[in-house]
């Protein structure tokens, strides 16, 4: 138990101790790639595409090819893409409508406010990965379009499934490049002859992509640093063991490093889920991946009561958090740390991953303690402004003069006094 871990928790299964990636080696390799792309631009991108992907074709997906890719899309895939895009758009538009400009007169003659401004040019990274996850493009491109970003640049690994390129096109990306890995992040951060420099980079990726985003942060904005996918379920003794096991394995199949778990007040349910997972793994076609994730990163924690269950769930701060209790809505209101919450047994993470409308790009590694997930607001800037009338200067400036003098900032004091003299205002404070 760590120093901050809540009491009243015992384990039926704990994650195995597994050696992690060589982070120092990844950091050094990524730094070299970024420096190479900064110096050599497109030449470096082509070299890495050939080295890592065996690809030596064009960097950009041009207009004629874009149309061909969309026209050749399987009708069922096109229908599913359109359905997901419509749902994500609908929710993003509703979220955008909650963000309004502000104008307020806080004191007589003192006017403050803010504007909500789209980021000009954004870059989205759409990972290739183990599966051609069609929603990956939808979830990063659609909010940018709804936010009103002037230009959306998408990068995908050179051998990404054509349907993923189609997803970028239909969702609204303006330009699309067959560039993957850390070199894609470097290209979007610094620009090359082909790939434009962007203002902020979005999208998940492997350890190299994540490290590249970390290293270019400051040069550009980034959405977040995310690790492998996570799902936890909080449940009492009313939980359905077979359903919970199926949900955990669904997320486990993402990657052998996926973190999956059950937090429950019922040892009997915990034991039943353990048995169900082993049973379902026997026939799951992705059991090689899901089984490794469960073995190495799976967890079942039994808590002494609801309070301990809530406290432990908030300590974990899972990326995806399902609530399966007798009164799931009441339990949900008590939870505060999660990336996205799935209330009741009918609300599966799978629906959000694919098409229901909420964004599954969420904080991992307990990042939900301080951050939410990707949403339309991630593509917007809230920028303040102010303007003063003479009566406002008469109230604010004398305090600024005195405070600046007390701090020894004589230039600040002089700037404030100038306006007082200009307006002929006595600035003595009582």
Q: Are residues 171 and 313 in the same domain?
A: no
For residue 426, the model assigns a pLDDT of 80
Rounded-to-integer distance, Cα 9 and Cα 134, Å: 39
Residue 350, pLDDT > 60, answer: yes
Which of the four pLDDT bands, split at 50, 70 and 90, describes residue 428? confident
Query: What average pLDDT does the structure give for the chain?
Result: 95
Rounded-to-integer distance, Cα 243 and Cα 322, Å: 11
Among residues 195, 224, 253, which one ends one of the domains? 224
Residue 22, pLDDT > 90, answer: no
Q: Per-residue pLDDT averaged across 89-100, rounded?
A: 98
Q: Are residues 54 and 197 in the same domain?
A: yes
Residue 20, pLDDT > 80, answer: no
Q: Are residues 155 and 258 in the same domain?
A: no
Q: Within a domain: residue 384?
A: no
For residue 18, the model assigns a pLDDT of 53
For residue 3, the model assigns a pLDDT of 61
201: containing domain = 23-101+120-224
Residue 311 contacts residue 361 (beta carbons within 8 Å): no
Cβ density class 394-416: b for 16+ within 10 Å, e for less? bebbbebbeebeeeeeeeebeeb
Residue 344 contacts residue 329 (beta carbons within 8 Å): yes
For residue 180, the model assigns a pLDDT of 96
Closest to 126 (Cα-Cα) out of 191, 62, 209, 52: 209
Rounded-to-integer distance, Cα 51 and Cα 380, Å: 37
Q: Are residues 254 and 204 in the same domain?
A: no
CA angle 189, 20, 49 (to 5 degrees): 40
Q: Are residues 202 and 177 in the same domain?
A: yes
Residue 8 contacts residue 305 (beta carbons within 8 Å): yes
pLDDT digits (tens, 9 = 90+) for 213-252: 999 999 999 999 988 999 999 999 999 999 999 999 999 9
Rounded-to-integer distance, Cα 97 and Cα 91, Å: 10
Residue 346: CA count within 13 A, CB half-sphere: 1
Order across the sheet with 230-235: list the strands: 9-13, 298-303, 259-264, 230-235, 320-324, 340-343
DSSP line for 167-222:
HHHHHT-SEEEE--HHHHHHHHHH--SSSPP-SEEE----HHHHHHHHHHBTTBEE
Q: Within a domain: residue 357?
A: yes
235's tokens: 């449940």
Q: Are residues 234 and 97 in the same domain?
A: no
Measure Cα distances from 4 to 207, 297, 315, 353 in Å. Answer: 27, 20, 8, 31
Q: Are residues 313 and 202 in the same domain?
A: no
Q: Within a domain: residue 14?
A: no
pTM of the model: 0.93
For residue 21, the model assigns a pLDDT of 56
The structural domain count of the chain equals: 3
Rounded-to-integer distance, Cα 269 and Cα 303, Å: 12
For residue 291, the model assigns a pLDDT of 97
Three-class secondary structure of residue 8 per DSSP: coil
Q: Per-residue pLDDT averaged across 44-61, rounded?
A: 96
Is 320 an annotated catalytic residue? yes
Q: Within a domain: residue 113?
A: no
Q: Within a domain: residue 107?
A: no
65's tokens: 């090819």
Provide the sign of the torsion angle of the four alpha carbons 397, 403, 406, 410, taken in this order. negative
Pairing of strands 110-118, 320-324: unpaired
Residue 429, pLDDT > 90, answer: no
Residue found under tokens 């300590």: 315
Q: Within a domain: residue 110?
A: no
Among residues 160, 190, 224, which one ends one of the domains? 224
Q: Are residues 156 and 75 in the same domain?
A: yes
pLDDT digits (tens, 9 = 90+) for 366-424: 999 999 999 999 999 999 999 999 999 999 999 999 999 999 999 999 999 999 999 99
Rounded-to-integer distance, Cα 205 and Cα 203, Å: 7
CATH number of the domain that 38 lies in?
3.40.50.1980
| Total count of residues recorded for the chain | 430
Rounded-to-integer distance, Cα 123 and Cα 202, Å: 6
Q: Are residues 406 and 282 in the same domain?
A: no
Rounded-to-integer distance, Cα 200 and Cα 190, Å: 11
Is 111 an annotated catalytic residue? no
Q: Which of 320, 324, 337, 427 is catalytic?
A: 320
First to last CA, the chain: 58
Q: Within a domain: residue 16?
A: no
For residue 430, the model assigns a pLDDT of 60
Q: Are residues 331 and 242 in the same domain?
A: yes
Q: Within a domain: residue 48?
A: yes
pLDDT digits (tens, 9 = 90+) for 290-305: 999 999 999 999 999 9
Q: Which of 319, 324, 337, 417 is catalytic?
A: 319
Q: Are residues 306 and 190 in the same domain?
A: no
For residue 127, the model assigns a pLDDT of 92
218's tokens: 């400051």
Q: Are residues 250 and 167 in the same domain?
A: no
Residue 312 contacts residue 263 (beta carbons within 8 Å): yes
Lowest mean pLDDT among 18-27, 344-353, 419-428: 18-27
């Amino acid at each position: 138990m760590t120093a901050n871990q809540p009491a009243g928790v015992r384990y039926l299964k704990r994650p195995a101790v597994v050696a992690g990636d060589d982070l120092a080696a990844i950091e050094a390799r990524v730094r070299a790639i970024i420096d190479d792309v900064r110096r050599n631009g497109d030449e470096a991108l082509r070299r890495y595409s050939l080295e890592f992907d065996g690809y030596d074709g064009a960097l950009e997906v041009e207009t004629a090819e874009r149309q061909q890719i969309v026209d050749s899309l399987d009708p069922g895939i096109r229908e599913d893409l359109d359905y997901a895009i419509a749902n994500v758009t609908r929710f993003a538009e509703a979220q955008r409508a909650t963000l309004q400009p502000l104008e307020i007169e806080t004191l007589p003659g003192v006017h403050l406010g803010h504007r909500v401004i789209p980021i000009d040019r954004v870059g989205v990274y759409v990972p290739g990965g183990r599966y051609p996850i069609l929603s990956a493009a939808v979830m990063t491109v659609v909010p940018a379009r709804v936010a009103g970003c002037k230009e959306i640049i998408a990068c995908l690994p050179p051998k990404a499934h054509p349907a993923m390129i189609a997803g970028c096109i239909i969702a609204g990306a303006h330009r699309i490049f067959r560039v993957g890995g850390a070199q894609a992040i470097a290209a979007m951060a610094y620009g090359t002859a082909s790939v434009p420099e962007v203002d902020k980079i979005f999208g998940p990726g492997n350890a190299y992509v994540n490290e590249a985003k970390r290293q270019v942060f400051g040069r550009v904005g980034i959405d977040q640093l995310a690790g492998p996918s996570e799902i936890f379920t909080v449940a009492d003794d009313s939980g359905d063991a077979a359903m919970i096991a199926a949900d955990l394995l669904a997320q486990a199949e993402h990657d052998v490093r996926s973190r999956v778990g059950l937090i429950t007040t019922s040892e009997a349910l915990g034991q039943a889920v353990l048995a169900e997972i082993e049973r379902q793994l026997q026939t799951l076609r992705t059991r090689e991946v899901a089984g490794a994730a469960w073995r190495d990163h799976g967890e079942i924690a039994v808590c002494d009561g609801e309070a301990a269950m809530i406290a432990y769930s908030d300590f974990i701060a899972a990326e995806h958090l399902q609530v399966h209790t007798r009164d799931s809505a009441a339990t949900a209101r008590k939870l505060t740390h999660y990336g996205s919450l799935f209330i009741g047994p009918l609300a599966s993470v799978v629906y959000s991953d694919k098409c229901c409308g909420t964004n599954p790009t969420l904080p991992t590694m307990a990042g939900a303690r301080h951050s939410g997930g990707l949403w339309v607001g991630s593509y917007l800037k809230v920028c303040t402004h102010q303007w003063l009338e003479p009566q406002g200067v008469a109230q604010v400036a004398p305090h600024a003069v005195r405070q600046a003098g007390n701090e020894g900032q004589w230039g600040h004091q002089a700037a404030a006094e100038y306006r007082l003299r200009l307006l002929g205002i006595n600035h003595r404070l009582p």
